[in-house]
Amino acid sequence: MAKKTSKRTSERMRRDDPERETPDRRTSEHIRRNARPSNGGKHGDRDSQPRISKTVEQAISGMVQQSSAFIEEQIRAGQLAAERLRDGIANSRQLNADINTLVENLVATTKDVGATWLDLISIIIRAIGTQPSNGGGGGGAPNAPPGPGVTVTRSGTFGGATTLSSITPANNSIVGVPPQIVVKGARVKSVVLDLRPRSLQFVPLVQQLIAADLKRSFSAKFAMSSDSLSLILTVNVPDGQPPGTYTGVIVDSRTNEAGGTLSVTVAG
């Protein structure tokens, strides 16, 4: 029969960690190292603050210590079960119960440690924030926010009239295509179109073109080209239309929201 060993009652002695001669690759040390300013401790305008605050660093350190404590607890439980087996004081039923309990505890601990590390990763991502696409180095231009695109202008003539057509897309990711201008009327001198849609769903509608005295007017309308790739603006000036400059607002046919202007000058 195996000799029983006496139970250990004193705490295990611990020595201070020796001076490290090789790189410290512990996860906690890697996090602390990356929490410092990225310019080697020299604070500049862009790196005047560490990427991870002291509070977040303490929370991370606490999570690491808690995970380590979980693992050490299960190791001690395994050592205790091994001592019972070695001393011969554990029967098969007690041994099975101890093993089942140990396995259940290990599974639970693994889940706890996994959840803890997921929380840790989330904290780091929130603390560091989204890095620039050029690798975090300074000097890169930030991505342009959504907004109107670049104005594109097309000038030309139709019949005896000079035409100027321009469009400013609603989104800067779209290249605008100025509408083609078709003029019907012998005495039209010039047509100027400035189209500024407010959304990608903008469907232009020209309101009545009115003279300065508000008594004379005529109409114009948009249509799709035969290839459905561009717009065509047709300006139809009736014969005998009094001379003058006629202007109108271009609106969205669905919402009546303004999105451009049209000006037509009729010669005397």
User: And the tokens for 93?
Assistant: 């039923």
Q: How far apart are CA 218 and CA 220, in angstroms?
A: 7
DSSP letter, residue 183: E
The domain boundary, picked from 62, 94, 128, lies at 128
Look up the domain containing 70 and give its range: 27-128
Weakest mean pLDDT among 58-62, 159-163, 172-176:
58-62
120 shares its domain with 167: no
Amino acid at 130: T
The domain boundary, picked from 72, 94, 128, lies at 128
Write the pLDDT tens digit of every residue in 108-128. Answer: 666 666 666 666 655 554 544
Write the pLDDT tens digit of every residue in 181-210. Answer: 999 988 999 999 999 998 888 999 999 999
Q: How far apart are CA 165 and CA 182, in angstroms?
A: 11
Beta strand segments in the chain, E? 152-158, 161-167, 180-184, 188-195, 204-206, 209-210, 217-218, 220-224, 231-236, 244-252, 258-266
180 shares its domain with 91: no
Q: How far apart are CA 131 and CA 119, in angstroms?
A: 20
185 shares its domain with 97: no
157 shares its domain with 233: yes
Weakest mean pLDDT among 26-30, 110-114, 122-126, 167-171:
122-126
160 shares its domain with 119: no
The model carries a pTM of 0.48
252 shares its domain with 182: yes
- Check residue 94 and give its pLDDT: 63
Question: Pick the residue with more confidence: 143 or 239?
Answer: 239
Q: How many domains does the chain have?
A: 2
Q: How far apart are CA 141 and CA 171, in angstroms?
A: 19
Assigned domain for 224 exists: yes
- Check residue 226 and give its pLDDT: 87
